[in-house]
Amino acid sequence: MKTIEGLSFKRKIFFFGALFVLIHIAALPGISYSDTDVQEKLTIYVVNYPLKYFAERIAGDRAKVVFPAPSEGDPAYWMPDAETVAAYQKADLILLNGANYAKWVRKVSLPRSKMVDTSAKFKDRYITAEEVVTHSHGGEGAHAHESLAFTTWLDFDLAAKQAGVVMEALSRKKPAAEDFFKKNYAALEHDLLALDNEMKSIAAKNPLLPLIASHPVYDYLSRRYGLNMKSVHWEPDEFPSDAQWSELRAMLKKHPAKWMIWEKEPMKESAERLKAIGVNSLVFDPCGNIPDQGDFMSVIRRNGENLKPAFQ
C-alpha cells in the first residue's frame, strides 16, 4: 500500500483537497445554516424583576435574561460592582425601567446603543413623588432629581406598554424572530390587561375607600385604579417608633383608613398594634425583585386576592 509520501505531487494535492472537503461536510450537521438565528441566543440584562418576567415571556428560548441584583433588598437602590457593570456592557440589550428607577444607571457607563428605556414613551405620565425631600445648593441651585415615583409596572396598562417596548427592542435585535416575539407579547399583554381589569373591578367596589400604604411605592397603582391612599414610611421588619405611631394617628384622624398595605408580611407586633387601633394589614408585594415563590403573574394575582377583603 502506498504511503502519502510515496504519492506524486498532483496526487498529494488531490488527497488533501478531498480531505479538506470531507472534514467540512462532516462538520455540517453541527451547524444549522438555515437557523443560525435560533442558535445565537440574545443576552439581555434587566434592572428589575418585572422586566425580567416580561423579557422571558416574550423572548422565550431566544434569549438569556439576566437580573444580577441580589435577591434581598430593593433593586432600585442596588449598586453593582465593576464586574457586574462590565457584564451589563457586554449584553445585547439592557432593559431599563425608566422614571429614574435604577439609581445606579446614572453612576455607571453603559452603551447607549444597547439601552432601552421601557417607559420613555409615557414619560409625560410619570408621577412626582411628593413625599421625598429634595435638596439644592446656594440660593438658586436646581434641586436634586430624586422625586419621581418609579413602580410604573403596578399600573398594568403601563406595564403592558413597557412589555411592548421590550418586544420592539427584541424584534429590532432579532428580526427573524419578530413573529415569535409578537405572538408571545400578545399573550403577555392579554394577561396584563386581564390584571388591569381585575384591579379595576376590585377597586370599583369601593372607590373612596381610604387606605394607608406603609411605604410610598404604590403611586402608579393608586392613580390607575383610583385608590384613596396616603403613605407613611414604615418598614415591615421594624416596629414603628412612637413618633411614627403619632404620625399615623394624626393621619387617621383626617384619613380614617381601616387597612394598611404592606410590601411584605409585617412584624406580628406591628400588625397587632395596628389591629388594636382598628387598622388591618394586607400585603401587596410590588414585586420589584424575584419572588420567593411563583412569578410576577401569580404574585400580582395573590396581591389582588389580598386586596379584595379591604374593598368588600
Partner 1 sequence: MIDSIYIAWQYIRFNKIKTATLIACITLISFLPLSLQLLLGESERQLMSRAVSTPLVIGDKGSSLDLVMNSLYFSDEVPELIGMEASERIIESGLALPIPVYARFHARGNPIVGTTLDYFDFRRLKVAEGRNLAVLGDCLLGARVAENLGLKPGDSLLSSPETLFDLAGVYPLKMKVVGVLQKSHTSDDLAVFVDIKTTWVIQGLGHGHQDVTNLSDPTLILKRSESNVVATAKLYQHTEITKKNIDSFHFHGNTSVYPITAVIAVPYDDKSGTILRGRYLSRNETLQIIKPEEVIDGLLQNIFRIKNVLDAVISVVALATVLAIILVFALSLRLRQREIQTIFKLGCSRLTIARLVSAEIFIIVLTSGLLCGVMILVVNQISNGLVRMLFIR
Give residues in contact with partner 1 (CB under 8 A): 79, 82, 85-86, 89, 103, 106-113, 130, 133-139, 141-146
Return the closest-CA partner of residue 183 out of 60, 297, 44, 34: 60
Least Cβ distance, residue 81 to partner 1 (angstroms)? 8
Query: Sign of the CA dihedral 86, 289, 226, 302?
Result: positive
For partner 1, which is the closer residue by CB, 10 or 137?
Answer: 137
For cell 404574585, name the residue: 299
For partner 1, which is the closer residue by CB, 92 or 295?
Answer: 92
Answer left, alpha or beta for residue 213, where phi above 0 means left and psi between -120 and 50 means alpha: beta
For partner 1, which is the closer residue by CB, 130 or 179?
Answer: 130
Let me know: does 122 contact 158? Beta carbons within 8 Å. yes
For cell 404592606, name the residue: 262
For partner 1, which is the closer residue by CB, 142 or 276?
Answer: 142
DSSP state of 7: S
For partner 1, which is the closer residue by CB, 103 or 273?
Answer: 103
Counting Cβ atoms within 10 Å, is residue 85 exposed (0-12), middle (13-18) or buried (19+)? Answer: middle
Least Cβ distance, residue 104 to partner 1 (angstroms)? 9
For partner 1, which is the closer residue by CB, 32 or 136?
Answer: 136
Least Cβ distance, residue 172 to partner 1 (angstroms)? 10
Let me know: does 138 contact 147? Beta carbons within 8 Å. no
For partner 1, which is the closer residue by CB, 233 or 275?
Answer: 233
Least Cβ distance, residue 199 to partner 1 (angstroms)? 30
Q: What is the grid cell recorded at 103? A: 439609581
Query: Sign of the CA dihedral 118, 120, 123, 127?
Result: positive
SS3 116: strand
Q: How many Å apart are CA 13 and CA 19, to the nearest integer?
A: 10
SS3 195: helix
Q: How many Å apart are CA 134 and CA 150, to the nearest integer?
A: 16
Least Cβ distance, residue 233 to partner 1 (angstroms)? 13
Question: Pairing state of beta strands 93-96 and 63-66?
Answer: unpaired
For partner 1, which is the closer residue by CB, 2 or 135?
Answer: 135
Radius of gyration for the chain, computed over Cα atoms and rounded to the nearest angstrom: 27
63, β-bridge pairs? 42
For partner 1, which is the closer residue by CB, 148 or 290?
Answer: 148
